[in-house]
């Protein structure tokens, strides 16, 4: 068995070998894409090739892709660059959305974790044109949002739409044209690429004003010398992820097994469409932090919600927005598969989770008898 069954791909996915090879080659040659000599031209060719690869992953035109330092920057660029004073965001957005516009109006979600379209329609009825930001799929529950319906309502009200597709790209079919959004955020390290590189797709014709001064890189949308090796790695990862992630069989087998072990366990978002790689489940009576530590000791890596919130003793804002009761929310862990997940990894998690559950329930029974 490997040293660790890594099941935290929604936090970051291990780099793919093909990606590493492409990055090493780009690093070995170096070059500034803005230089006109042959080394610079080769660097520019690498960036242009990666732009085509990333665009193909999400059904965009290469000219619509602007490379960034990651999903957080892409989200911030979209929210600020759209030029709308009024912003509507769903209650389950990533912190890089919620904190970027703290004064934004919040669209509630239902108990399944889906954005409340009726509430959105009411908010859009106000006269001021808005920017609506709704993620493609939630990073904690994997619930896929009805983005096309959000766009339909937004267009009727003269609103623009941004979609954070960081968790969806490479795990489900994400298409800029089919979704109809104006802005789409992406990140390389969620699909086996390097950290520190992402992209914002800006639909042709959509308004965009950059808040970064400098050179004219990325068609004047993001000044600064391009991270050539990172961008090349992103392109290679996008190419490898074109077929998506086929992990539904692993996820379903996992959930059936865990629910059989602990009948009181609950999978959050199970009633809605979800990413095939993500399970958010509560073990009754056992806090998430305890589960994460116990599983880690057993050689299994999972998380207690979003990686950006790890280490904070706070209840998941996503589960709270869904109306999950506090006890269940505090006992919820996230399990996320990826490109290198094997059946053996799932077996190892099931065995470790079962051992922990038996140990906890046996301890509770012993204490009850002693009392």
CA distance 62 to 55: 5
Question: Cα-atom radius of gyration of the chain, to the nearest Å?
Answer: 22
Task: Note whether 171 and 206 are within 8 A (CB).
Answer: no
Exposure string for 50-65, b = 16+ CB within 10 A, e = fewer:
bbebbbbbbbbeeebb
Tokens representing 146 are: 């009805």
Residues 6+ apart with CB under 8 A from 40: 31, 32, 33, 34
Residues in the chain: 371
- Burial of residue 118 (number of CB atoms within 10 Å: 0-12, 13-18, 19+): exposed
301 given a catalytic annotation: no
Angle at 121 between CA 115 and CA 122, to 5 degrees: 110
Q: Could you say which of 163, 280, 301, 308 is catalytic?
A: 308
Helices (H), the chain: 17-29, 38-57, 71-81, 95-98, 117-124, 147-156, 176-179, 217-220, 228-240, 248-261, 288-297, 317-321, 326-330, 343-370
Q: Which residues are catalytic?
A: 308
């Amino acid at each position: 068995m490997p040293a660790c069954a890594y099941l935290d791909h929604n936090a970051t996915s291990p780099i793919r070998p093909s990606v590493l090879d492409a990055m090493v080659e780009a690093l070995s040659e170096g070059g500034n894409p803005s230089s006109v000599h042959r080394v610079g031209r080769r660097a520019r060719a690498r960036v242009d090739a990666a732009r085509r690869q990333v665009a193909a992953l999400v059904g965009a035109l290469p000219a619509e892709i602007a490379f960034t330092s990651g999903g957080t920057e892409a989200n911030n660029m979209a929210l600020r660059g759209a030029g709308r004073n009024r912003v509507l965001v769903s209650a389950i957005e990533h912190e890089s959305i919620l904190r970027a516009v703290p004064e934004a109006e919040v669209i509630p979600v239902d108990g399944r974790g889906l954005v409340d379209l009726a509430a959105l329609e009411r908010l859009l009825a106000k006269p001021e044109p808005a920017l609506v930001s709704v993620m493609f799929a939630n990073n904690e529950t994997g619930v896929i949002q009805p983005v096309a319906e959000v766009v339909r309502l937004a267009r009727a009200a003269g609103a623009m739409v941004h979609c954070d597709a960081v968790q969806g790209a490479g795990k489900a079919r994400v298409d800029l044209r089919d979704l109809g959004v104006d802005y789409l955020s992406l990140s390389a390290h969620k699909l086996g690429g390097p950290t520190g590189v992402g992209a914002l797709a800006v639909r042709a014709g959509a308004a965009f004003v950059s808040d970064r001064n400098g050179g004219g890189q990325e068609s004047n949308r993001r000044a600064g010398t391009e991270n050539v090796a990172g961008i090349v790695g992103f392109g290679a990862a996008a190419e490898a992820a074109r077929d998506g992630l086929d992990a539904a069989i692993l996820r379903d087998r996992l959930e059936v097994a865990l629910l059989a072990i602990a009948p009181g366990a609950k999978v959050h978002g199970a009633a809605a469409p979800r990413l095939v790689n993500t399970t958010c489940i509560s073990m009754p009576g056992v806090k998430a932090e305890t589960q994460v530590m116990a599983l880690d000791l057993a050689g299994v890596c999972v998380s207690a919600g979003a990686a950006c919130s790890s280490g904070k003793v706070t209840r998941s804002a996503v589960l709270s927005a869904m109306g999950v009761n506090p006890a269940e929310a505090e006992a919820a862990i996230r399990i996320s598969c990826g490109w290198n997940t094997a059946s053996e990894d799932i077996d190892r998690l099931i065995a470790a989770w079962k051992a922990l559950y038996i140990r906890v329930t046996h301890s509770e029974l012993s204490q009850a008898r002693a009392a």
